[in-house]
Amino acid sequence: LQGPQLYGWQMTFNAVLVLVLTPLLNHFTRNWRPLRTITLAALLFAGGFGMLGLGLPVWGIFLSTFIWTVGEILNAVNDEVYLAT
């Protein structure tokens, strides 16, 4: 895959993951405190995006996308708790 094509597949993968994982992650983390969830999200962001600097093969890029997408979902669902106060 070339750069733009790989990026397109990566963003498509991200979108599908958001649609599929959001209800599941909301269900499994519904009893967690928001600060705990946001902390996990930050760690997943750091790990997932940090992996991109390692020169990974294509499967590693998609693994990285999976990791930071989970962080993205956890953050998006819980960050409003602190913005509202």
**What is the reported pTM?**
0.88
- 58 Cβ contact partners less than 8 Å away, ≥ 6 residues apart: 1, 6
Amino acid of residue 69 = T
User: At 26, is the pLDDT very low, low, confident or very high (cuts 50, 70, 90)?
Assistant: very high
- Closest by CA to 38, choosing from 85, 82, 84, is 82
Per-residue pLDDT reduced to its tens digit, 7-20 = 999 999 999 999 99
Average pLDDT over residues 54-62: 92
pLDDT at 19: 97
pLDDT at 80: 75
